[in-house]
Structure 1
Amino acid sequence: MSLVRFLPTPSDRMGIIWSLLAVQGAIVLEYGPAGTTHYSMGLYGGLGLRFQNRLFTTHMSEDDVVMGDVTRLEEAIIELDKSYAPKVIFIVASSVTAVIGTDIKGVCRYMQNEVKAKLVAFEQGGFRGDYSVGLAETYKLLVRNLPQKDATQEAGVYNIIGASAWRYRMASDIWEVKSLLGEALGLRCNACLCCDTSVDELQAMGKAQVNIVLGNEGLAAAQYLEEKFGTPYVYAVPYGYSGTVSFLEQVGAAVGKASEPIVLMRIKMKEKGMSMLSMFAMMGGSKPRQAAVKGDYDLV
């Protein structure tokens, strides 16, 4: 691990696991040493994710690493399927299994006939980039593996893609987006990738009338859903009053509805009030102050 002044930037593997833990009805199984999983659990708990009976590790011995034995992984898959009956088991590589090149996809392929749960493999072990790379890979693999092909599109339904639990107050922002779209356009959220969603909601993603992308990591997934189901997507981040109005206009255009005038008027009145505060500050002789802004690209 490289020397850093503060906490290191989470890897792609970390982004994958915290995204998958937000999917209820599924289990995350990490194929690697127990210490690797234990090291990460403090972060997942800090993000407010519930991982009791949902995050497991196979552990590995030196013989497993040297000989490439996957017996522990096979037995763990069968045990979790029998004990918890999850709808999906996500198999995630650790840094150790990524280094030795374990074919996790191959194991899932032949083990699928042995279990009832759907097996989905994630072979990124923390060497392909930071957490944003892991988020993008997670969204892509989820939309390629879980949505049912025979879903019928429903008017007024949307999915959110690109909501990472790592982002500051993401759950609060998602609540605000849902409230805003419900009040202004009468829309209802189906699935939210990946912030407190479920396997059932992911399977029904094809019924959405529009997909809303809140982060650039979700663009590839939204483009795939557009090709697969013909669902248009809107890539917009509703931060700031003018940004919120633009967001509502884009979503409304995608679903063929106009926003409620009273909602737009309320937002514009708040924006006007803020501009008045700026004017009063200038009249009082206050000088603009400099600030440094740090965060994910879309939020900044």
Structure 2
Amino acid sequence: MSLCRYLPVPSDRMGIIWSLLSVKDSIILEYGPAGTTHFSMGFYGTLGVDWQHRLFTTHMNEDDVVMGDVTRLEEAIVELDKSYEPKVIFVVASSISAVIGTDIKGVCNYMQKEVQAKLVAFEQGGFRGDYSIGLTEVYKLLVNNLPCKEQKKRKKVFNIIGASMGSYRAASDVWELQNLMREAFGYELHTCLCHETSVDEIGDIGTAEINLVMRQEGLPAAEVLKNKFDMPFVVSAPYGYAATLTWLEEVGKILGQLPDVKMCARLRLKAQNTASLKMYAMMMGRKKHLRQL
């Protein structure tokens, strides 16, 4: 047995599922064996994602794999639609269904007329790369499939794109961004991809004035929204006092509004104090080094 020093990097399939679990009023149906879904549930729980009555599997046996029979998938879609009445059913391919080449999109296309819920297919089975590729696909497919074509803009509203529950303290980052935008510009959060959002909120994502992209995986989705709804965006995260000031200035230019003066003054003072402490620490370290010589 080989020695493993670190846990394996989650695949694109894992990133897709944990992101979709944050979308309320939806259900995730994985077309694959029960074992792959069962063992992943514990991991999703450690991320703080509630998967109860949200994540289901069709189960596959040897006959389904060899013959390519999708009857179980068709029956599961109909059963979930009648039992839970979700607004959206996300059909996700497992590693096995991706290997045998099951046409998930094709099944969703002809099954759409049989159910009330909107069917959205994700054919990645964990073979296209790590979780970052899965996040990119989720953000992009959500903004392509759920938003309405015509949306009326709302004032003082923004979106966040790129909040991943797989990131350390993602919820705290979202909370801090809300506080910054509220204090600096008086703006409120509309929806966040993908953290504690819903099908309806994503459907109205084009009503916001600006998108704040926290990570590069959200950039393709931001480009889609810019083309569809003429929504500007900022790609960066405000970490550190000086970087936060620069970020606020960049956001303010797009909004045509200067950030709160008192808030900026407070951040500049903290940045100066931090620089002074750093210089003091360097001087103390130099004196200690000279005494040792």
Q: TM-score, normalised by structure 1?
A: 0.93
Show the counterpart of 1:29. Answer: 29
Cα deviations across residues 201-225 of structure 1 (Å, max 9, x unaligned)? 1000010111111100010000011
Going from structure 1 to structure 2, the CA distance change for 1:286 and 1:197 (only over 3 Å counts) comes to farther
Matches within 5 A, 1:145-160: 145-160=145-160
Rounded Cα–Cα distance in structure 1 between residues aligned with 2:142 and 2:12: 15
Rounded Cα–Cα distance in structure 2 between residues aligned with 1:15 and 1:282: 42
Give the Å deviation of 1:282: 2.4
Matches within 5 A, 1:1-300: 4-285=4-285
Going from structure 1 to structure 2, the CA distance change for 1:172 and 1:115 (only over 3 Å counts) comes to same
Larger Rg, first or second structure (1 or 2): 2
Cα deviations across residues 73-120 of structure 1 (Å, max 9, x unaligned)? 111111111111111100000000000000000010011111111000
Number of equivalences: 287
Show the counterpart of 1:295. Answer: none
Rounded Cα–Cα distance in structure 1 between residues aligned with 2:126 and 2:185: 41
Cα deviations across residues 112-154 of structure 1 (Å, max 9, x unaligned)? 1111110000000000000000000111100000011121111
Rounded Cα–Cα distance in structure 2 between residues aligned with 1:201 and 1:263: 30
Look up the SS of the partner of 1:152 in the other structure: coil
Give the Å deviation of 1:4: 4.3
Checking the alignment, whether the CA contact within 8 Å between 1:22 and 1:195 is kept in structure 2 is: yes
Checking the alignment, whether the CA contact within 8 Å between 1:190 and 1:201 is kept in structure 2 is: yes
Cα deviations across residues 179-237 of structure 1 (Å, max 9, x unaligned)? 11011001111110011111111000010111111100010000011001111111111
Rounded Cα–Cα distance in structure 1 between residues aligned with 2:196 and 2:34: 26
Question: Which 4+ residue blocks in structure 1 deviate beyond 3 angstroms?
Answer: none
Q: TM-score, normalised by structure 2?
A: 0.95
Quick one: percent identity of the two aligned structures? 62
Amino acid at match of 2:126: G
Look up the SS of the partner of 2:285 in the other structure: coil
Give the Å deviation of 1:283: 3.2
Give the Å deviation of 1:276: 2.0
Look up the SS of the partner of 1:252 in the other structure: helix
Checking the alignment, whether the CA contact within 8 Å between 1:156 and 1:255 is kept in structure 2 is: no
Amino acid at match of 2:53: N
Aligned-residue RMSD, C-alpha? 1.5
Checking the alignment, whether the CA contact within 8 Å between 1:213 and 1:219 is kept in structure 2 is: yes
